[in-house]
Every structure is written in structure tokens, then in C-alpha cells.
């Protein structure tokens, strides 16, 4: 049987400890460390967070690595620029936000829901300091998980990138200058004419251009690539090889701006900028979730609201041009955060880079102001509610 010891604990101190600053708004390192420990030991949360931020992209890349290793003709390299942008916009950005929000809502509400907040308050520690201790603790968790997941994506996309660029179904050397691409097009004129898409200006094609395009017959070749075939019976006069080369050069010139945005692998600067961007998005998710969780005192409701904001409201406000509400749309944090991302990254949730023109316009400065305002306002709201709440 356990019994209560009557051995004195220690002498009874009289008066508050010397140099005691527990009324300060600033949390101590010990408070932050123990809050980190408390969050890290939530088993369910700590399974979901790594699975989403690390597991999903890692699994996707491992499957691609294996598929390419066993059947390289059917399955392309696991990494590369396209895979990088797709994983960043489709997985890390959206799911990183959602799991960060779940962590924030948890950090903001569980002390209240589990009745521990009053234990902490009766220590005399400032309620605001108790709230602020959650910020570095939570950011350390979500920031490191997102960084690990993103690091894996960067590694695979850099080191398992394709060696040749596949542009419109044709293998093209990567990183060519405009004259070099035109020169390459001239020497691969048949491939260019049969495979490259192009968009002409408003004046339309010249007669010689149209004549060449119409009279160079192409058909499906092996691997889905289109190849030039011989003239069909009864066809008109065939263009000369010089005319074909001239048209191929024209097409290369028209496509250059699109081609110049295609890379074998993401550049270092793109990876750095993208990494900072998805860390910012995760930080937004965590801090807004923390404020909302503290405000409501309810984890489940707060998480649902955050998912609705990210998955439903943000895409609508990002694309729909609602009369008289454009400024309100621009003030949604998800819309603003999208505008802060690297332009090479397609917008999230199925947008694709070609949709960029349809998004509502927002300057980066305004987007930065909106994001900063959201962070400040939600942090202040959460701190205020914690300081004023009856417990």
C-alpha cells in the first residue's frame, strides 16, 4: 500500500523567490521545452503529422524510384522538375497547412479541454506567457517535419531527375538559349513540326507557314510520339526541306518562353524559395489554428473550420471574380499566401500553371501585408482569450 510520507519536503520558503519574473509575457526556455514535450508525446497527432508531411511524398517517390528501376522504358525517372512542382503544390503545401492547423488547434485547446490550464495559471505565471510558449514549441515540431518531408522531395527530385527534357513528347536538350533552341529545331525540324504545339499571334499564320504545316503529314509513332510519314497519294506539292526548317525555327521561337520554364531539376534558388514558402504556409496554419483553438477552446470545431478555409473557401476566393468583393477575397490568408509563392510552382488544388491568368490579381506587397495581419490578429485574439478566459 502506498502511504503518504510525513517527512518534511523542505523548509517553507517565505515570500516569492528572488528575481522572479513570472508575471512577464515572455515564456521561459523550460516552459517551451516542456510544451514541446507535451505536444510531441501525443501519439495520434505524432503519427498523422509525419505520415502526411513525410510519409505521403516519400511513398510516392519510392514507388516511382522502384518503377523506374524495374521498367525504365515505361516509367520515367522518379524526380525532376515536374515531380517537384507537383509534390510541392499538391501535397506539401495543402496538407502541410492542414496538419499544421491541426497541431495549432490542438496546442490552443487541449490545456483547456483537459483541465490543465488552471494548474498552470495557479503557478502565477502570466497567461500570455503560457500562450506564447506554445508558439515556438509547435513551430519547432511542424517546421522540422515539413523540412524533412521537403528535404526528401528535393533530394529525389534533384538526384533522380531526367537527363533529357521531354517537351511536348520530344526529347529536347535542357537549358538551351533561344538561338540554340532554334538551331536545334532546325536540325530536328520533322520532330518539331509533328510534335510541338504553338500559339500564333492574332495575325494568324503566313501562307507559307500554313502550307508547310498542312503538307507535312504526321502519324503516331512508337511511344505515342508523332513522326513524319511520306506524302499520301494525290497530295499537293511537298515543301522543301529548307521551308520545313524555317517553319520549325519559327515554332521554336514561338515556344521558347514556354520551353524556358521547363527544367530537368529544380534549381537551388527555386528549392530555397519554395522551402521558405511552404514553411511559411505551415507557420500560418499553425498560428491561425493556435489562435482559433484558443479562442473557441474546442479542437474539433477549430480543425474543421481550418480545413474549410483551406480546401473550400480559399480555392473559391482565389478563382471566382465576385463583384464588389475582390478586396475581401484578397484578404483571405490562403489567397494571399498563394500569391507569395514562387511563380514556377503551380497553384494548389488542381490549378496548374496555365490557370495563373485566371486568378484574382494581388500584389506581393499586399499579400505580405495580409499574411502578416492574419498572423498578428489571430495571435492577439488567442492571447487575449487566454488572458480573459474563466477557467
Partner 1 sequence: MSTMTLADNRQQAAESEWAVETHGLTKRFGPNVAVNNVELRVPRGCAFGYLGPNGAGKTTLIRVLLGLTHANSGTMSLLGFDVPRHRDLALARVGAIVDEPRFHTHLTGRQNLELVAAHREPAARERIGPALDRVGMTQRADDKVAKYSMGMRQRLGVATCLLGDPELLILDEPMNGLDPAGMHDMRAMISTLVAEGRTVMLSSHLLDEVERTCDAVAIVDRGSVIRQGSISELLSGASVVLQVECSDDEKANTVLGTSNLSVQVTSGASGLDITLPPGAGREVIAEVARLFIDNGIDLYRLQPVHTSLESWFLEVTSRLGDAQ
Q: Which residues bind partner 1 (CB under 8 A)?
A: 1-17, 20, 22-23, 28, 30-31, 33-35, 37-38, 41-43, 110, 114-116, 118-126, 130, 390-391
Question: Burial of 28 by CB count in 10 Å (0-12 exposed, 13-18 middle, 19+ buried)?
Answer: middle
Comparison of 119 and 178: residue with beta carbon closer to partner 1: 119
Nearer to partner 1, 13 or 71 (CB): 13
Tell the smallest beta-carbon distance from residue 112 to partner 1 (Å): 10
Among residues 240, 286, 263, 239, which one has the least CA distance to residue 342?
Answer: 263
At residue 165, φ and ψ (nearest 5 deg) are: -90, 130
CB-wise, 41 or 73, nearer to partner 1? 41
Q: Which residues contact residue 44 at a Cβ distance below 8 angstroms, ignoring those fewer than 6 apart?
A: none
Q: How far is the CB of 288 from partner 1 (least distance, A)?
A: 24
Output DSSP code: residue 89: I
**8 vs 233, beta carbon nearer partner 1:** 8
CB 130, min distance to partner 1, A: 7
Residue 31 vs 172, nearer CB to partner 1:
31
**Minimum distance from residue 131 beta carbon to partner 1 (Å):** 12
Q: Which neighbouring-strand residues pair with 172? A: 165
**Residue whose cell numbers read 471574380:** 321
**Between residues 10 and 357, which has the closer beta carbon with respect to partner 1?**
10
Q: How far is the CB of 10 from partner 1 (least distance, A)?
A: 6
Separation between Cα atoms, residue 353 and residue 346, nearest integer Å: 4
In terms of CB distance, is 49 or 154 closer to partner 1?
A: 49
Distance of CA 269 to the CA centre of its chain: 16
Q: 33-36: which pairs have CB atoms within 8 A and are 24 or more residues apart?
A: 33/137, 35/107, 35/133, 35/134, 35/137, 35/138, 36/136, 36/137, 36/140, 36/141
State in angstroms the smallest separation of the CB of 282 from partner 1.
23
User: Cβ of residue 21: shortest distance to partner 1, in angstroms?
Assistant: 8
C-alpha cell, 352: 496548374
Amino acid at each position: 500500500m502506498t502511504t503518504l510520507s510525513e517527512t518534511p519536503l523542505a523548509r517553507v520558503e517565505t515570500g516569492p523567490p528572488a528575481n522572479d519574473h513570472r508575471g512577464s509575457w515572455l515564456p521561459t526556455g523550460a516552459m517551451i521545452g516542456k510544451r514541446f514535450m507535451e505536444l510531441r508525446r501525443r501519439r495520434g497527432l505524432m503519427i498523422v503529422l509525419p505520415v502526411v508531411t513525410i510519409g505521403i511524398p516519400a511513398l510516392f517517390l519510392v514507388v516511382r524510384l522502384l518503377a523506374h528501376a524495374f521498367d525504365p522504358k515505361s516509367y520515367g525517372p522518379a524526380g525532376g522538375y515536374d515531380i517537384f512542382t507537383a509534390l510541392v503544390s499538391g501535397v506539401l503545401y495543402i496538407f502541410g497547412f492542414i496538419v499544421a492547423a491541426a497541431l495549432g488547434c490542438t496546442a490552443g485547446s487541449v490545456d483547456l479541454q483537459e483541465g490543465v490550464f488552471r494548474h498552470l495559471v495557479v503557478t502565477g505565471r502570466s497567461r500570455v506567457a503560457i500562450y506564447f510558449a506554445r508558439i515556438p514549441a509547435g513551430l519547432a515540431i511542424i517546421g522540422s517535419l515539413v523540412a524533412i518531408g521537403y528535404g526528401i522531395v528535393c533530394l529525389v527530385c534533384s538526384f533522380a531527375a531526367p537527363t533529357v527534357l521531354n517537351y511536348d513528347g520530344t526529347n529536347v536538350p535542357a537549358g538551351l538559349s533561344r538561338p540554340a533552341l532554334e538551331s536545334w529545331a532546325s536540325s530536328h525540324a520533322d520532330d518539331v513540326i509533328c510534335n510541338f504545339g504553338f500559339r500564333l499571334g492574332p495575325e494568324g499564320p503566313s501562307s507559307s507557314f500554313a502550307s508547310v504545316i498542312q503538307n507535312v503529314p504526321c502519324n503516331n509513332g512508337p511511344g505515342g510520339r508523332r513522326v513524319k510519314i511520306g506524302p499520301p497519294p494525290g497530295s499537293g506539292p511537298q515543301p522543301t526541306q529548307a521551308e520545313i526548317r524555317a517553319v520549325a525555327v519559327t515554332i521554336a521561337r514561338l515556344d521558347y518562353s514556354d520551353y524556358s520554364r521547363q527544367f530537368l531539376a529544380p534549381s537551388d534558388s527555386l528549392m530555397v524559395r519554395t522551402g521558405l514558402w511552404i514553411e511559411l504556409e505551415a507557420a500560418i496554419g499553425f498560428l491561425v489554428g493556435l489562435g482559433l483553438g484558443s479562442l473557441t477552446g474546442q479542437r474539433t470545431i477549430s480543425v474543421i473550420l481550418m480545413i474549410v478555409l483551406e480546401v473550400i473557401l480559399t480555392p473559391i476566393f482565389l478563382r471566382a471574380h465576385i463583384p464588389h468583393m475582390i478586396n475581401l477575397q484578397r484578404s483571405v490568408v490562403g489567397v494571399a499566401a498563394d500569391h507569395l509563392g514562387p511563380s514556377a510552382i503551380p497553384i494548389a488544388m488542381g490549378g496548374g500553371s496555365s490557370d495563373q491568368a485566371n486568378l484574382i490579381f494581388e500584389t506581393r506587397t499586399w499579400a505580405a501585408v495580409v499574411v502578416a495581419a492574419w498572423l498578428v490578429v489571430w495571435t492577439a485574439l488567442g492571447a487575449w482569450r487566454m488572458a480573459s478566459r474563466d477557467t
